[in-house]
Structure 1
Amino acid sequence: MSAQVIGACWSLCQYPTKISIDTCDALSSLIPWYAVRQMKRLQKLKIRYCKMMMEVFESESSSNNVEGGARVVGGPPLKNVTIVGVPQLSNLKKVHINRCDLLPYIFTFSTLESLKQLKELEVIYCKAIQVIVKEEKETSSKVVVFPRLETLELKYLPKLKGFFLGMNEFRWPSLDHVLINHCSQLMMFTSGQSTTPKLKYIKTSFGKYSPECGLNFHEAIDQTAFPPSSDPTISKGMPFSFHNLIEINIRNEKDFGRTIIQSHALLQLQKLQQIHLYRCYGVNEVFEVVASKGTDSSGFGASPTVVEIPNLTQVKLDYVGDLKYLWKSNQWMVLEFPNLTTLSIDTCLRLEYVFTCSMVNSLVQLKDLHISDCKNIEVVVKEEEEKCDAKVNDITLPRLKSLKLGKLPSFKGFCLGKEAFALPNLGILQIKECRAITDFTKGHVSTPELKVIETSFGFCYVKTDINSLLKTKQEEVLLFLSLMILEKAHFNYMKR
């Protein structure tokens, strides 16, 4: 096709509002430098699987200029074409770029001034991208404003270093959704100040982070705190600080690692509010609890280190098949969760227990505890390997209202130690398909508000205490089964 015909084709770009290019390896750039002024009506730009694309909007420097005119790369000179340095994209609202492996950037700095209508920007699976906005030779100190940008998603960009590496100030007055996933080299967003008044959190595949420093999250990071070889936020391409982590939400990870939160980060979890794991494989424990350096390994004369996670309110664990502990008990470190209100565990087949007796008294706000389909769990509260402190002999869960236990074939009891339990607000108790249960607790249990227990055989009124009721029901079930066996034997005898 001749250069004149190509120029004529691009002159038609003043009309379309949407351009979508899919699987076109012949393009090294999408829109030639001489056509950019004609893109004023363009509203949506979508580019997918253009593996040879080097530029979205071709710059003059990448075109071949000759005296007396300009020409398309590989074509004859174009006469009467005005050289335009700044693209005009005043109506562009959505930009989606996917799998353009050679693309090093999306916009040049001079382009930004025209992006007044841009609302969505998504860039994913582009192996070569280092910045979203490229600096230019002529620097400017002007403030950059994205007045309508609401959604920004950057995913699977292994070489991305930053949105823009110049020192200009950026303002994002409408931005309320930011998703950054698997951008392992991203250590800053903009070098200059970045203001996001509506942004409540930055979302990643690890969870949500408070934007306490705007988008310049690097200002909150203690770089010495994270060993890159072992820390999940670094190894999974999330260069954020545990200090501003507000939610852990990990879904469908096949090989995340043995531990979600390592021991060196426990004291940094002051803002953490929620944990939700769904179908995470390879995870053995949520919190890594180890002895502090310098602690006497024998434990003799050493008091345990108490680590408080003060704002954690909800924990939900679903289909975490390799999970063995939420936190592995030892006599040197104790975790406390003073504001935990809800704990739900479903289909964690290797889980053995939930709490230890030394930490359960810290659960002063726990209201709902639901555990189901965990075939290895034997108790909810496990006795310490070392004898519990005398202060823990009387255990109270003052706000626990709902306790539901179901499909736990190895479950023997809530706690098999001799500690006395007080559950003053427990009003809902379900124990279903827990055939191995022998006692609710070995010690005394007080449940003044509990009227009935829901079991696999229906509702049972609580007239004395839970332990007496369970023993009575076990005897009734055994008697029922014995009668059924005798009746069947009698029936078979009469058939002869």
Structure 2
Amino acid sequence: MAATSMQLFNWKVVFPNLKELSIYYLSKLASIWSSSRLSATHDHRLDNFRNLHKVEIEGCTNLKYVFSASVARGLEQLVKLKVESCMAIKEIIAKEEDDQNQELILEFMFPKLQTLQLLQLPQLRKFYPGMYTSKWPSLDYLVIFGCEKIETFAAHISTFHHTTTTPFFFIEKDSFPKLTVMSFSGKEILYGPLPPAKCFPTLTDLNLSCVHFTSADFPFASLDKLPCLQKIDVYRAFYKVLFMEQQTPKGQINNGGDFAALTYLRLFKLPKLVYLSDANKSNSNSSSHSHRAADDHRPLVLFPNLEALIVEECRRLKNLQSSAISFHNLTCLSIDLCDGMRYLFTGSIAATGLNQLKTLAVKSCKRMTEIVSTTRRDGDGDEDPPAASAAAAAGGSITILSRLKDLSLTNLPSLSGFCSRNSMLNVKLPSLETLSVSECCLEMEISPDGTLIVTLDPTNQAQRLAQIAEEGEEQDDEKIVRD
């Protein structure tokens, strides 16, 4: 097909057995199918494309839409649709040119579609520009990324005339009954009266970014009641706080769902993130903390079954401390490029709240002075456990992270010890099997009884910190997110 073509198919073209259609880098292609309505005598020609199983389109920079409405309603065998790097596409399905019925609600049904990928389509705003509902009974894998003008993923059809957002999909209950993996870059997951659990009853993996919206809030309310959600990957966004405490009308805290099925959480390139949850702020006020403890029917606990936490390039995040988040089942923790952290946890969390942790890796956090803080920090609302305080006063030892097997510390120039520098507490890691310390200004080793022995090189540390101070200002937030 020559690159000068403006339309690929007219209604005289017949491909009754066509199963795969791939179109790459036809820069002048404006349409694949005509958007003119077919007459009744020509409706049978829709059968020419009913056997399409796979459609892939990439690099067609002048293409305005993918399907006409008539063709889209005949794609009963379509299994995969991928559209990438088509700079002019505004909608996936075009409205018929002579359709003047503004109140007609179309239904688009793709009974066999399993994979839908829409990538780097900067002008894309809507799936279809008119009133419609869509159903995806077999859709399992959905990716919408790099589509800057899509603000909201889906909205109920009842909101069509009064929504203040621009939803990509208009849906009804059970539109996505089998969806398990979704990636979306936008501000809002769901708008309207439908509860999330009714829209995404089988969703297990969610990848979420908000790179194009600097003032966006994390869509906590759309996620915390998803019954099967096991994995969340949050990346390239400007969220300041992720998980919010919610108040009932009587003033009691209600956390709704608690992400009970979630086992994996990854946070990547969130340059404005300061706290994991806003419980950190309330904890700084001890009277408010006491009042909450007395009034709540049950404590606010998120992620009771979280097993893996990965945090990368969250440079303002202070620490992982949060009374709202449970780490009791955490087995793997990895921290990288989090320069705002001076420590990970306080001693009370390390001693009693990380009993299942087996792997800990911390890398390139230039302000981190200790892994576990055994001295109280202002605003954390946490103090040493009594056992730790007593052991420290006696110059004794205490066992923390009792099941930790693998410890890796890399490029931590400010690190002065595993616990607080002025603490007299000897730390025991009885299950440790692998210890790796590199590009730090100290050495660590484990004694036969499991005691961690730390030797600091203060001269080397002073030189390293002076070098870091000369490296200049930190990168701009937006540059970090978009790189």
TM-score (norm 2): 0.62
**Higher RCO, 1 vs 2 (CA within 8 Å, ≥6 residues apart):** 2
Say if 1:131 and 1:164, in contact at 8 Å, map to a contact too: no
Say if 2:218 and 2:239, in contact at 8 Å, map to a contact too: no
CA 1:232–1:36: 2 relative to 1, 3 Å? farther
Give the match for residue 172 of structure 1: 137
Select the residue among 322, 326, 331 that pairs with 1:336: 326
Give the match for residue 76 of structure 1: none
Question: Is 1:400 matched up with 2:384?
Answer: no
> What amino acid is aligned across from residue 381 of structure 1 in structure 2?
V
Say if 1:261 and 1:288, in contact at 8 Å, map to a contact too: yes
Residue 373 of structure 1, CA deviation:
3.3
The whole-number CA distance in structure 1 between the counterparts of 2:291 and 2:425 is: 24
> What amino acid is aligned across from residue 154 of structure 2 in structure 1?
M
The whole-number CA distance in structure 2 between the counterparts of 1:132 and 1:392 is: 65
Residue 44 of structure 1, CA deviation:
0.9
CA 1:426–1:466: 2 relative to 1, 3 Å? same
Residue 94 of structure 1, CA deviation:
2.6
Give the match for residue 370 of structure 1: 361
Residue 131 of structure 1, CA deviation:
5.2
Question: Is 1:241 matched up with 2:232?
Answer: no
1:153-202 CA-to-partner distances (Å, cap 9, x unmatched) read 123465534469766673533x3321122432432445345565654222
Residue 292 of structure 1, CA deviation:
6.5
Gaps of 5+ in 2: 156-168, 190-195, 204-212, 247-253, 294-298, 389-397, 458-483
Aligned-CA RMSD value: 4.7
> What amino acid is aligned across from residue 385 of structure 1 in structure 2?
R
1:267-286 CA-to-partner distances (Å, cap 9, x unmatched) read 455143323345x2634446
CA 1:113–1:162: 2 relative to 1, 3 Å? closer
CA 1:116–1:370: 2 relative to 1, 3 Å? same
CA 1:185–1:405: 2 relative to 1, 3 Å? closer
Max radius of gyration: which structure? 1
The whole-number CA distance in structure 2 between the counterparts of 1:435 and 1:295 is: 33
The whole-number CA distance in structure 2 between the counterparts of 1:193 and 1:164 is: 21
Say if 1:338 and 1:363, in contact at 8 Å, map to a contact too: yes
Give the match for residue 342 of structure 2: 352
1:362-411 CA-to-partner distances (Å, cap 9, x unmatched) read 22221111123333211111232257154563664332222222332221
Higher strand proportion? 1
1:47-69 CA-to-partner distances (Å, cap 9, x unmatched) read 6465782x43114449xx9xxxx
The whole-number CA distance in structure 2 between the counterparts of 1:241 and 1:191 is: 18
Give the match for residue 429 of structure 1: 435
Residue 343 of structure 1, CA deviation:
0.6
CA 1:104–1:259: 2 relative to 1, 3 Å? same
Q: Number of aligned residue pairs: give it.
A: 386
Residue 347 of structure 1, CA deviation:
4.0
Say if 2:66 and 2:91, in contact at 8 Å, map to a contact too: no
Residue 287 of structure 1, CA deviation:
1.2
TM-score (norm 1): 0.61
Say if 1:402 and 1:428, in contact at 8 Å, map to a contact too: yes
Give the match for residue 203 of structure 1: 183
CA 1:465–1:291: 2 relative to 1, 3 Å? closer
Say if 1:231 and 1:262, in contact at 8 Å, map to a contact too: no
CA 1:41–1:110: 2 relative to 1, 3 Å? same
Residue 428 of structure 1, CA deviation:
2.9
The whole-number CA distance in structure 2 between the counterparts of 1:142 and 1:327 is: 46
CA 1:52–1:215: 2 relative to 1, 3 Å? farther
> What amino acid is aligned across from residue 303 of structure 2 in structure 1?
I
The whole-number CA distance in structure 1 between the counterparts of 2:439 and 2:33 is: 64
